[in-house]
Amino acid sequence: MTLTLDKATAAEPQPGSTCSLDNYLSLPDHSMDARIAAARAKLGSSTILLGHHYQRDEVIRFADFTGDSYKLSKVAAETDARYLVFCGVHFMAESADILGRDNQQVILPDLNAGCSMADMAEISQVEACWEALERAGLAHETIPLTYMNSTAAIKAFCGERGGLVCTSSNAGAAFRWAFARGKRILFLPDQHLGRNTGYAMGISLSEMPVWDPWALEGGQTSESLAASRVLLWKGHCSVHQRFLPSHVDDVRARYPGIQVIVHPECRWEVCQKADALGSTERLIALVEQAPAGTMFAVGTEIHLVNRLAHRFAAQGKHVITLDDTGCLCTTMYRISPQHLAWALENLVAGRVVNHIKVRDSVKQWARIALDRMLEVK
């Protein structure tokens, strides 16, 4: 069979065709494995699969590269593959398109895979916040810094105003970069990552007020804005905010000597009680480097925790979730083996479905913000 992949378009097959998504969703997960493998073999090096750590096992097993959003962004910037199938969420696929080459196309197997945190900061709200800083005479000394979990429009907003993007892997370095260029940081959309990062640098909680986009003037005064060093956006990760200080106390009471490690998207109070915090890549490294017999309670998405527990059990390491009712990332979970098989088999047939394309007017400044992120160590 001769593939004419260079002629692929964004058109989806008509409902009722053999490549209609409805034909896939009615089938069981396990029936997709052989079809995914066969499609991968036919596509060869023209296509790579990127899988975020929070993906379900049935999907991430097929990934060529796994990692957090920072690691996968670097892969997207460096790969020569024609098609990037991103098993993650919408903002990640946008970033891959921004960093990719002109002849590359990014596919998100399910367009409903979004991010509740990213949705907590709309570009019009961010622009209104910036206008308030301008009225207070503070914008010129403020560096906007956005977490990777944000829309392309907000990444472009930060890039155009001298800021950059960060991930949990390089948030500290991004803060230092920003403070070398301005007096304060406008950090969005995750207040917890911003607060934990700022506090680790010696910034007091009183110097990190929260801007509420739904309150008049963000719920702040000109005086509080002027006194701030980090202006935090009122946003959060729905998964990580579920972890509470009481969960740390309970797990320590049940398992004396246990190591509590959490993601910096968790509440400040939780991070203060933890033994260590870090990005998903860092959490994996902490377990990997620990001696046999170490027990961990991990405060992050349940799929990653379960994967760590299985991976390191043979080494005598015991990994549990910080909260027994730990929540999965429901938007990451939307990508199923059926969605992945559908996207890949359409590619084999010469069709690109769910093509993620960022407008050129947005891509220019968003690319600058992301390039700065990749340069910051």
Residues 6+ away with beta carbon under 8 Å from 286: 259, 261, 276, 278, 296
Cross-strand pairs, 184: 142
With the CA atoms of 189, 195, 198 and 204 taken in that order, what torsion angle do they form, in degrees rounded to the nearest 10? 140
- List strand residue ranges (DSSP E) for the chain, in order: 47-52, 65-67, 83-87, 105-107, 142-147, 164-166, 184-188, 210-211, 230-233, 259-262, 276-277, 295-299, 318-321, 355-356
Which tokens sit at 281? 């890549």
- Nearest by Cα to 268 from 198, 185, 213: 198
pLDDT recorded at residue 10: 34
**Strands, sheet with 47-52, edge to edge from the N-terminal-most edge strand:** 65-67, 47-52, 83-87, 105-107, 355-356
b/e per residue 170-204 (b: at least 16 CB within 10 A): bbbebbebbbeebebbbbbbbbbbbbbbbbeeebe
Residues above pLDDT 70, as percent of the chain: 95
Confidence grade of residue 4 (pLDDT, cut at 50, 70, 90): very low
- Taking the C-alpha atoms of residue 171 and residue 189, their distance in angstroms, rounded to an integer, is 13
Closest by Cα among 374, 362, 358 to 94:
358
The CA radius of gyration of the chain, in Å to the nearest whole number, is 21
Nearest CA to 326 out of 243, 235, 267 is that of: 243
Sequence-distant (≥ 6) Cβ neighbours of residue 121 within 8 angstroms: 146, 150, 151, 154, 188, 189, 213, 233, 235
Which has the closest alpha carbon to 172: 208, 148, 201? 201
Cross-strand bridge partners of residue 231: 186
- In the DSSP assignment, the letter for residue 11 is P
102-157 pLDDT tens trace: 899 999 999 999 888 999 999 999 999 999 999 999 999 999 999 999 999 999 99
Digit-coded pLDDT (tens) for 265-307: 999 999 999 999 999 999 999 999 999 999 999 999 888 999 9
Q: How far is CA 342 from CA 23, 211, 338, 346, 354, in A?
A: 9, 42, 6, 6, 11
Q: Can you tell me the distance from the alpha carbon of 76 to that of 94, in angstroms, rounded to the nearest whole number?
A: 11
Residue type, 113: A
Q: Average pLDDT of 69-91?
A: 90
Average pLDDT taken over every residue of the chain: 91
Domains of the chain: 5-114+332-362 (3.40.50.10800), 118-237 (3.40.50.10800), 240-321 (3.40.50.10800)
Statement: the pTM of the whole predicted model exceeds 0.85: yes
